[in-house]
Structure 1
Amino acid sequence: MKIGVPKEIKNHEYRVALTPTGVRELVERGHRVVVQAGAGEGSGFPDSAYEAVGATLESDVDVLWDTAELIVKVKEPQSEEVARLKPGHTLFTYLHLAAEEKLTKGLLDSGATCIAYETITDPQGGLPLLAPMSRVAGRMAVQAGAHSLEKAQGGSGVLLPGVPGVAPGKVTVIGGGVVGENAARMALGLGADVTVLDKSLTRLEALDHRYQGRLHTVYSTADALEEAIRESDLIIGAVLVPGAAAPKLITRKQLADMKPGSVLVDVAIDQGGCFETSKATTHAEPTYVVDGVVHYCVANMPGAVARTSTQALTNATMPFVTALADKGWQRALAEDRHFLAGLNVHDGQVTHPAVAGAFGLESIDPASLTG
């Protein structure tokens, strides 16, 4: 199969979809991998590293898209990339369509087959291709929040670990999943006073056991959230509804109850954000202030640590990329119902119910397309 790996063009996105190691695996299986010149430079992988493992380098992005059957990316296609999609293309990348109506329409109009990393499941009910970037984003959320608390960044001037004689800062993580646990782990490592809110008692029990009481676990209610809003120096939004838009958990009115200079980090921004005042930002301008509260809402946080992120992502995606290349999308998805859950759009039709529900569209059963 002809596999295309284009250079990411989203603002300050430095990741690449495949490492040279991943490309080598595909080439050795008899596939042709075409990598856009310079695609790996932001992650520390020069063109020579791809050539050394048998990739074909292509400087003309239009040629790459025209000749590829399977296109593997990191971020959702930008408008000029959507324009290059056509029937017969299989696109494999993060999509987050429930928060992007224009992108959804563009993919439907393209006639392409679009498979989203973030809705693929596993037998344990997890999201195996979202998990590695969720780990990165969760850990980065604390770094970003701690920096945003600095007075020069518009924050309150609180040092999260405190110092002898001065209490540590209070961090609340909303959501105890992969993002939330990794954020809590980082915040604990810094020495902050950390609380995790979640509606799953099973999850809270697991966190309490794992961290031996060093972490406060609180069942998420309106009262608990209101208390967190009043007392926290840093709140990290780490909620996820697979494939759907994130719920709005903190309203603009509630910002008045927060400490001046406190910080909100919205890790759910790819899915529309979990704070009413959230809007996507970039690494170039990562924060803004609303009613005295600093908002950090970068939509591609892991892109800032591109080498680590690219390696972690390729480790997770390679079995799926290999299956698509070896078998084609229909057989690969037909043989794996968890992989089938990743199909979001095919030939002008929505195939994921959460995406369809977000925009009042009809959804077809993806299994009907793989028989």
Structure 2
Amino acid sequence: MKIGVPIEIKNNENRVGMTPSGVFELTKRNHTVYVQKNAGFGSGFFDKDYTKAGATILDTIEEVYTAADMIVKVKEPIEKEYDLIKPHHVVFTYFHFASSEPLTKAMIKTKAACIAYETVEDHDGTLPLLIPMSEVAGRMSIQQGAKYLEKPIKGRGVLLGGVPGVPPGKVLVLGAGIVGIQAAKMAAGLGANVIIMDVNMKQLRHVCDIMPKNVITEFSNEYNIRKHIKDSDLIIGGVLLKGAKAPKLITRDMLKDMRPGTVIVDVAVDQGGCFETTKATTHEAPTYIIDDVVHYCVANMPGAVPYTSTVALTNVTLPYVIKLANEGWKQACQNSAPLNKGLNIVNGNIVYKEIAEAFNLEFSAS
């Protein structure tokens, strides 16, 4: 198969869909890999590394799409790429369709096979291609939140870990999944007092068993959320519903109950966000303020640490890329239940129910 790896052109997205080691694994299986010039530069991988591994370097994104049967990316195609995607293409990337009706309709129009990293699902219900980026984003949410709590950038002026004689900051984490656990771990490591909330008691018991004493679990409901936002310094939104829009756990009216300079970080922004006031931002302009509350809602948080993120992501995507290349997408998805769950849009039809429901569009069972 001919596989294309284009440069990511989303704002400040420095990750790349394949490393030179991935190219090597594919070319030794007699596949052809086309990599756009400087595609890996932002992640610390250079054209000479790709060439040595067996890739062919092409100058433009148009050449990559024209040459390839399968496109391997990191982020969803943006408008400039829509017309480059043709019916014969397999596009394997993060799509997060439920957060964007224009993207969904554009991919329907292409009639390409769109396989989303974020809905590939193992037999135990875990999302193997989402986990590493959730780990990165969860840890980064505390790193970024701590920075934006500083007064020069309109935060409360609180050091999360405190100092002797001054109590530490309070962090509220909504969701005890991968993002929430990683956020709580980082916040606890800094010495903050952490409340982590979820509706899944089994998950809360797990968190309670593995976390230090400065992490307290509590059942998630509106009453408890309203109680804790009043004195939290940093609030992390890490709730995920597979393939669907995130629930709005913090509404606009709740902002008035927060102290001026409170920072809220919405890691669920790719799925529409779990705060009513969420709007996607970029690394170039990462924050905005509503009712004196600092919002950090960068839609590609892991893109700020591209080397770590690229290696973590491609470690888990490469086996699926190889399977798709070896067998073709139809056979690969028939043979692999997890990969079949990744099918979102095929031949102009939505085949993932939650996406159709998000926009009241027609669903076609695959």
Q: TM-score range by the shorter chain?
A: over 0.9
| Matched letter for residue 176 of structure 2 | G
| CA–CA distance in structure 2, aligned partners of residues 172 and 300 of structure 1 | 22
**Corresponding residue number in structure 2 for 1:272:** 272
Secondary structure (helix, strand or coil) at the match of 2:230 reads: helix
Q: 1:29-44 maps to which residues of 2 (within 5 A)?
A: 29-44=29-44
Is residue 9 from structure 1 mapped to residue 9 from structure 2 by the alignment? yes
| Matched letter for residue 271 of structure 2 | Q
Secondary structure (helix, strand or coil) at the match of 1:231 reads: coil
Size of the alignment, in residue pairs? 366
**Corresponding residue number in structure 2 for 1:252:** 252
| CA–CA distance in structure 1, aligned partners of residues 76 and 329 of structure 2 | 19
Q: Structure 1, residues 146-182: CA drift from partner, whole Å, max 9, x if none?
A: 0010000110100000000000000010000000000
| Matched letter for residue 186 of structure 2 | M
Q: Taking structure 1 as the reference length, what is the TM-score of the superposition?
A: 0.98
**Corresponding residue number in structure 2 for 1:312:** 312
Contact 2:192 2:214 in 1 (8 A): no
Q: Structure 1, residues 333-368: CA drift from partner, whole Å, max 9, x if none?
A: 0011111010000111001000000011121122xx
Q: 1:173-188 maps to which residues of 2 (within 5 A)?
A: 173-188=173-188
**Corresponding residue number in structure 1 for 2:131:** 131
Secondary structure (helix, strand or coil) at the match of 1:195 reads: strand
| Matched letter for residue 204 of structure 1 | L
| CA–CA distance in structure 2, aligned partners of residues 117 and 27 of structure 1 | 22
Unaligned runs of 5+ in 1: 367-371
Is residue 218 from structure 1 mapped to residue 212 from structure 2 by the alignment? no
Q: Which runs of 4+ in 1 moved over 6 A?
A: none
Q: Structure 1, residues 88-146: CA drift from partner, whole Å, max 9, x if none?
A: 10000000001100000000001111000000101211000000000000000001100
**Corresponding residue number in structure 1 for 2:165:** 165
**Deviation, structure 1 residue 213:** 3.4
**Corresponding residue number in structure 2 for 1:69:** 69
| CA–CA distance in structure 1, aligned partners of residues 258 and 82 of structure 2 | 41
**Corresponding residue number in structure 2 for 1:369:** none
Q: Structure 1, residues 18-46: CA drift from partner, whole Å, max 9, x if none?
A: 11111110111110000000000000001
**Corresponding residue number in structure 2 for 1:298:** 298
| Matched letter for residue 11 of structure 2 | N
Unaligned runs of 5+ in 2: none
| Matched letter for residue 82 of structure 2 | V
Is residue 189 from structure 1 mapped to residue 221 from structure 2 by the alignment? no
Contact 2:188 2:212 in 1 (8 A): no
**Deviation, structure 1 residue 60:** 2.3
Secondary structure (helix, strand or coil) at the match of 2:295 reads: strand
| CA–CA distance in structure 2, aligned partners of residues 132 and 187 of structure 1 | 19
| CA–CA distance in structure 1, aligned partners of residues 224 and 167 of structure 2 | 21
| CA–CA distance in structure 1, aligned partners of residues 297 and 107 of structure 2 | 25
| CA–CA distance in structure 2, aligned partners of residues 214 and 205 of structure 1 | 15
Identity among equivalent pairs (%): 54
Q: Taking structure 2 as the reference length, what is the TM-score of the superposition?
A: 0.99
Is residue 341 from structure 1 mapped to residue 341 from structure 2 by the alignment? yes
Contact 2:174 2:238 in 1 (8 A): yes
**Corresponding residue number in structure 2 for 1:354:** 354
| CA–CA distance in structure 1, aligned partners of residues 273 and 310 of structure 2 | 24
Cα RMSD (Å):
0.7
| CA–CA distance in structure 2, aligned partners of residues 219 and 290 of structure 1 | 27
**Deviation, structure 1 residue 67:** 1.3
- Judge which range, 182-191 or 210-219, deviates more: 210-219
